[in-house]
Chains A and B, each alone.
Chain A
Amino acid sequence: MALRKNLMEKPGRRSFKELINEFPWWMVIIGLLIGITLLLIFNSPNFNEAFITMRVGISTTLSITLIAYAISLVIGLIVGLGRISSRVVAKNLATSYVEIIRGIPMLVLIFFIALVIIPGVIQSLSMLGEKFIALGWLFIGEPLAGVNIRMISMSFRAVIALSITYGAFSAEIFRAGIQSVHPGQMEAARSQGMTYGQAMRHVILPQAIRNVLPAIGNDFISMLKDSSLVSLLAVRDVTHLARLYAGGSFRFTEAYTTLAVLYLIMTVLLSLVVKYFERRISTNDKS
């Protein structure tokens, strides 16, 4: 296609119009927005103050996102495998999980998990512990009964909620990835004498994961944005600190502009990192 275009053009002449069409103006626009805000942050005392108050939360946001995403990938892989499993129990459990989680908005899920499920689990564990103590099995009973809700901080609960939610999305991504690998691969592997598990581990999954890396990278950036919801649990991430600052100083413009641009910077940087890794992994792949 590129060859044809070149043949049709006069050699050495690239029209001005083409340059304008192909230039990544969107990068310029975003770059300007970020640049202007950064200038404001360094020069205007209000913006500066807003940024200094908020930046403490950046590490919280990033660490919550990283930990939650890592856990969600593990959940996703397990559930994704369950989805394609031929065993009835695994398949139905996995499908129920995916459908339920995907059917409830994340805001609702975060509240539900943090305020209903986890306190419920804690209570059941301590009741169980007391039953064990009554039976005389102190070894198990005492630690269980001693479990209290303070052990699972709101941050921890937020991470669990995010992992469970994104686990469902990752499961679907992994499922699609596995199913996109040619069935002949599995047949060939099995005919070599590998078990299902070995075939998965050594042949199918490596290919599947390479296929879905872009989607996984995108989901990671998506979670970075959704991590802002943990602010509702009073977790001190960058969004919560922005809200606190805006509320205390009434400088809503400074607070929220800085917040929006901070997220923009984080997501743009992360997409570049993700693209870099994608390119590296696909150039390693000689197939």
Chain B
Amino acid sequence: MHYKTKGEEMNNNSKISLLVIVAIVATLVIAACGGSQEAAPEAGAEVTYVDGVPQYGCLGSADSAIVDLECREVTVAVENAYLPFNYIVTETMQAEGWDYDVVSEICTRLHCTPVFEETVWETMIQQVQEGQFDVGGDGITINDERDENGDFSIGYVNTVMRLLVNIGEDRFTSIDDIAANSDLIMGTQINTTNYETAIEYVPEERVQAFDTFPFANAALIAGDIDAVIMDEVVGLGYQGENADALELIGPAITSDELGFYFPEGSELVDPFNQALESMIEDGSLNEFNLKYMGPTFALTYDEVQ
């Protein structure tokens, strides 16, 4: 039997270490190179996109600012799966939506730099409360519970909740009908006021909480569930997206205001409110609301992921 000499053993050990180091370095290099791809900005566009997320840079100027935030970065939490506030357009793989337009308009009026960061809805409120983000977009409903550990801006739009159903649905016309018929199953997104409202009418076992609304809509189209409860402004978007498959029905279930969400005591609340108020005064907020939540907002199923 050949016992390795000290020299040969050292050789093998160093070979293995070398291999490990090479492997680690190779992995890091591949990760770094395979990282962000910059899409060429469209001709005439002011915005560049990195990984599909628009990069705005410092907007506005010190002179015209209502409150001068001196180009400070404002991180905005979005989901990129919530029509019409933030979503990805499949053709270009770029993110768009009410949040992007309005927050960049707000930053133009406040001389700040909006930085949009994608996260999951389920933990977004918690993350904003902890200060991981400066502000939460994503159409957050203003309510007392959330107000306890965070701050809301003034409401920027009123919405009601309604039911998204398969076209031609005739077994029910309202959430009370669903409550009465124990064969029917509702769906919605987890950790939303939509879910809280749903379980007020329908037993919890008949309300399925999915990670995102597109998932719930897929279940609706497949027949796994019978209705999805969501904010009307969102429902209009998904109805437009799937015009031959889905429709919004039923009377308004609740009425709520949506607002931007900040960590408790954030110094951005007041400037944002001032910017929003100036946008209400000159009608630009209404224009954005009409653009994204009005009848002209129409995306085909292929256009939106």
Chain A residues packing against B (C-beta within 8 Å): 115, 119, 148-150, 154, 232, 234, 236, 240, 243-244, 246-248, 250, 252
Contact = CB atoms under 8 A, between A and B. Distances in A.
Interface string B12-36: 0000000000000000000000000
Contact of B208 (A149, A150, A234): A234
- The 3 lowest CB-CB distance pairs between A and B, nearest first, are A247-B191, A234-B208, A149-B223
Nearest to A118: B222
Given A148-B223, A248-B196, A154 B208 contact: yes
B209 interface: yes
A243 B190 CA distance: 8
Contacts of A250: 125-126, 129, 145-146, 149
B224 A149 contact: yes
A149 B209 CA distance: 19
Given A234-B208, A240-B209, A247 B122 contact: yes
B271 to A, nearest CB: 26
A150 B183 CA distance: 10
27 contacts: A119-B222, A148-B223, A149-B222, A149-B223, A149-B224, A150-B224, A154-B208, A154-B224, A234-B187, A234-B208, A234-B209, A234-B210, A236-B205, A240-B209, A243-B122, A243-B209, A244-B190, A247-B122, A247-B190, A247-B191, A247-B192, A247-B195, A248-B195, A250-B126, A250-B129, A252-B123, A252-B126
Contacts of B208: 154, 234
B10 interface: no
B47 interface: no
Contacts of A248: 191, 195-196
A150 B166 CA distance: 15
Contacts of A148: 223
Contacts of B145: 250
Nearest to A148: B223
A60 to B, nearest CB: 11
B245 interface: no
Interface in B78-130: 122-123, 125-126, 129
B261 to A, nearest CB: 12
B277 interface: no
B211 interface: yes
Interface SS, A side: helix
A150 B220 CA distance: 11
Contacts of A119: 222
A250 B126 CA distance: 7
Contacts of B125: 250
Contacts of B123: 252
B149 to A, nearest CB: 7
A232 B222 contact: no
A244 B199 CA distance: 12
Contacts of A244: 190-191, 195, 209
B209 to A, nearest CB: 6
B50 interface: no
B280 interface: no
Nearest to A234: B208
A56 to B, nearest CB: 10
B160 interface: no
B218 interface: yes
Question: In this complex, which of B145, B190, B204 has the most chain A Cβ atoms within 10 angstroms of its Cβ?
Answer: B190
A29 B224 CA distance: 45
A170 to B, nearest CB: 29
Given A244-B191, A248-B195, 10 more contacts: A149-B222, A149-B223, A149-B224, A154-B208, A154-B224, A234-B208, A243-B190, A247-B122, A247-B192, A252-B126
Contacts of B149: 250
B140 to A, nearest CB: 13
B208 to A, nearest CB: 4
Contacts of A236: 204-205
Contacts of B224: 149-150, 154
Contacts of B196: 248
A154 B209 CA distance: 12
A243 B195 CA distance: 12
A105 B205 CA distance: 29
Nearest to B145: A250
